[in-house]
Amino acid sequence: MSTKAQNSKRILAIVIVTIAIAAVFIYQNYNNGREKVVLPESAKKTVVVRRFDQDLYKSGANISPAHIAALRVKYGDFFKLYVEDLIALADVRDPSLHLELQNFLSDPYIDTIYQETLAAYGDLKDIEAQLSEAFSYYYYFFPKAQPYQVISFVSGFQYKNALTDSVLLLGLDLHLGRDYKYYPKVAYLSNYMLPRLDRQYLVPDALKAMVEDLLPPYLGENSLLNAMMVAGKTQYALKAILPNTPDSILFGYSAAQMDWVNQNELAIWDYLLNENLLYSADVNVMARLLNDGPFTTGLPQESAPRIAAFAAYKVINRFMERYPTVSMQELFEMNAQEIVKKAKYKGKA
- 75-112 confidence digits (pLDDT tens): 999 999 999 999 999 999 999 999 999 999 999 999 99
CA distances from 296 to 276, 304, 308 (A): 17, 6, 10
Rg (CA), the chain: 24
Q: Is residue 18 scored above 70 in pLDDT?
A: no
Q: For a pLDDT cut of 90, what percent of the chain falls above it?
A: 85
Asked whether 105 and 60 are in contact (CB, 8 A), the reply is yes
Reported in sequence order, the residue ranges of the chain that DSSP labels E, i.e. its strands, are 49-51, 149-153, 161-163, 167-171
- Give the list of residues 6+ apart from residue 226 with CB closer than 8 angstroms, or none: 218, 219, 220, 335, 336
326: enclosing H helix or E strand? none
User: What angle is formed at CA 247 by the lines to CA 238 and CA 264, rounded to 5 degrees?
Assistant: 120
SS3 221: coil
Longest dimension (CA), the chain: 97
Lowest pLDDT segment from 181-195, 210-224, 332-346: 210-224
pLDDT at 306 over 60: yes
Cα–Cα distance for residue pair 229/219, rounded to 1 Å: 9
Q: What is the pLDDT of residue 32?
A: 43
* Pairwise CA distance, residues 44 & 133, whole Å: 7
- Indicate if the pLDDT at residue 15 is higher than 80: no
- 340, HSE (Cβ side, Cα atoms, 13 Å): 16
Those residues whose C-beta lies under 8 Å from the C-beta of residue 278, and which sit 6 or more positions away, are 223, 224, 225, 272
What is d(CA 28, CA 45) in angstroms, rounded to the nearest whole number?
Answer: 25
Residue-range domain boundaries for the chain: 3-30, 43-212, 215-343
Which pTM value belongs to this model?
0.87
* 259-298 tens-digit pLDDT: 999 999 999 999 999 999 999 999 999 999 999 999 999 9
